[in-house]
Amino acid sequence: MKIRVLIAEDQSMVLGALAALLETEDDIEVVGQARDGEEALALAAKLRPDVVLTDIEMPKRTGLEVASALKGQSRTRVIILTTFARPGYLRRALDSGVVGYLLKDAPAATLANAIRKVHAGSRVIDPELATEAWTEADPLTDRERQVLRLAADGATSAAIALELEISEGTVRNYLSEIMSKLGAANRTEAARIARHKGWL
């Protein structure tokens, strides 16, 4: 019985390469390919793969949001495959129910073996990241992260308020609290710090 894998990756060339790579393994079958988070969730519901292999940064929904949505809903296990070697991302991934976290520069054999181990019930985490992940806690709440993400994309306080259905005053309060927590002088610096730490 082959391990059924769904790949979610917004870069078409990388998506195709991963699928071709995994199809060379006798015990792995790529049953679906998604180019954004929403498509990944739709395909996961339809195909019920054993493993979802997903990037973190994707359109519509991030890999972490995909993992959160799948957490506790199915037997599908999620592996993050990313270029982001940031401990903050790993902490959030584990909180989202992810059971595998690998970097894209890992050897091909490492990826295939990780899929086998995760399918068998184990957890596979890049060892260097695993050590660093617990050195500094993420101070942001989910709502603060939403506000900062929109601010980082250039949205005004009014636009953020409209998007999140809160008042402009509440948005300003969130931004003030975020800057205070991160020791940032402004929203741009706060976004830069949060991105660098893997908290955004």
Domain residue spans of the chain:
3-132, 142-197
Q: Which pLDDT belongs to residue 136?
A: 63
Query: 78 — phi, psi (to 5°)?
Result: -110, 130
Rounded Cα distance, 156 and 168, in Å: 9
Q: Which pLDDT belongs to residue 119?
A: 93
Q: Which pLDDT belongs to residue 199?
A: 81
Question: Could you confirm whether domain 142-197 is CATH 1.10.10.10?
Answer: yes
Are the beta carbons of 49 and 4 closer than 8 angstroms?
A: yes
Long-range contacts of residues 81-85, Cβ cutoff 8 Å, at least 24 apart = 81/9, 81/18, 81/53, 81/54, 81/55, 81/111, 82/55, 82/56, 82/57, 84/56, 84/57, 84/198, 85/126, 85/128, 85/129
Rounded Cα distance, 52 and 58, in Å: 14
Q: Which two tokens stand for residue 105?
A: 């520069």
Highest CATH level, class, for 3-132? alpha beta
What pLDDT tens digit does each residue of the chain (200 aa) get?
A: 899 999 999 998 989 999 999 999 999 999 999 999 999 999 999 999 999 999 988 888 888 899 989 987 668 999 998 887 676 777 788 888 899 998 888 888 889 999 999 999 998 987 766 655 555 677 889 899 999 999 998 899 999 999 999 999 999 999 999 998 888 889 999 998 888 777 87
Q: Where are the alpha helices (DSSP H) in 6-156?
A: 12-23, 37-47, 63-70, 87-95, 108-119, 127-132, 142-152
Q: Which pLDDT belongs to residue 169?
A: 92
Are the beta carbons of 97 and 71 closer than 8 angstroms?
A: yes
Residue corresponding to tokens 């609290």: 177
- Nearest CA to 91 out of 42, 152, 40, 145 is that of 145
Are the beta carbons of 164 and 147 closer than 8 angstroms?
A: yes
Q: Which pLDDT belongs to residue 1?
A: 86
Q: What is the pTM of this model?
A: 0.66
